[in-house]
Amino acid sequence: MNIENAKSQMRKGMLEYCVLLLLEHRPSYASDIIQQLKNAELLVVEGTLYPLLTRLKNDGLLQYEWQESTQGPPRKYYALSKEGHQFLEGLDTAWQELSNTINYLKNVTPKLLESK
């Protein structure tokens, strides 16, 4: 098990949550999302986003509409649906719990070692 593999597994798990977060407040089109994710150093290859978007859309969490663009052809703007918002709330809670767990483990383990 190498570090790259582990990292990519973690990223894969996070990607869905991150995309939903990005779309929470304003609709964006695919290239926007890619740019944001790249800035956050979450995306290795751009192509992985497209199957994800399609899956989320098919699951009813996302919806899109076509918007004219000043440069080039019309673009698909993705936004969260009602179910998407509910789903994201669920993920938020889950993330909070996970984050607490990790923090707890990180802080507690050294203390335990010190006390022995």
Q: How far is the CB of 72 from other proteins (least distance, A)?
A: 6
Residue 99 contacts by C-beta under 8 Å, 6 or more apart in sequence?
none
Q: How far is the CB of 111 from other proteins (least distance, A)?
A: 38
Give me the residues that bind other proteins (CB under 8 A), please: 12, 30-31, 34, 44-48, 50-51, 53-55, 57-58, 71-73, 75-76
Nearer to other proteins, 11 or 92 (CB): 11
* Cα Rg of the chain (Å, integer): 18
Nearer to other proteins, 34 or 91 (CB): 34
Closest CA to 76 of 115, 49, 104: 49
Contact 18, 69 (CB under 8 A): no
Q: How far is the CB of 37 from other proteins (least distance, A)?
A: 13
Q: How far apart are CA 76 and CA 72, in angstroms?
A: 12
Nearer to other proteins, 46 or 92 (CB): 46
